[in-house]
């Protein structure tokens, strides 16, 4: 059984490349363009992990993560932030929000699946 990734990414090119890369790596992917859409998709099919862009219009990743972690039905779903900002603030913010980890853009799309698995394995320790 493959892992189901719910991806929220506002950049259509990054969303497409990420989705294709994850599918090629054997993941099942549902993609959205912002945090609000992500929260709406949760009722359809519970993901195994959420890949969440930190900066998005309408509802950013931080607010989406706050809502996910506040809801007993979704608080245990691992969240991995994807961000162009690797400064300490974002790293600290991701941890404070309860994220399992983060991936810095630009990333190697061919290794995205491996990176997600690594973060999930580390979060289980």
pLDDT in tens, 5-22: 999 999 999 999 999 999
Give the per-residue pLDDT at 88. 60
Instruction: Say whether pLDDT at 43 is over 80.
Output: no
Whether the predicted pLDDT of 68 surpasses 70: yes
pLDDT at 90 over 70: no
Distance CA 90, CA 48 (A): 23
Q: Which fold does the domain 4-124 belong to in CATH? A: Rossmann fold (3.40.50)
Q: Which residue has the higher pLDDT, 1 or 49?
A: 49
In the chain, where the domains are located: 4-124
Q: Is the pLDDT assigned to residue 113 strictly greater than 70?
A: yes
What's the CA dihedral at 112, 117, 122, 125 to 10 degrees?
Answer: 170
């Amino acid at each position: 059984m493959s892992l189901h990734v719910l991806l929220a990414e506002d950049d259509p090119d990054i969303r497409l490349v990420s989705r294709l890369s994850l599918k090629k790596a054997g993941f099942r992917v549902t993609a959205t363009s912002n945090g609000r859409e992500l929260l709406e998709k949760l009722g359809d099919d519970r993901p195994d992990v959420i890949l969440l862009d930190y900066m998005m219009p309408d509802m950013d990743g931080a607010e989406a993560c706050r809502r996910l972690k506040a809801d007993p039905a979704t608080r245990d779903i691992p969240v991995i932030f994807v961000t162009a900002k690797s400064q300490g603030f974002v790293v600290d913010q991701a941890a404070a929000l309860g994220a399992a980890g983060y991936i810095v853009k630009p990333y190697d799309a061919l290794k995205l699946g491996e990176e997600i698995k690594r973060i999930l394995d580390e979060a289980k320790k």
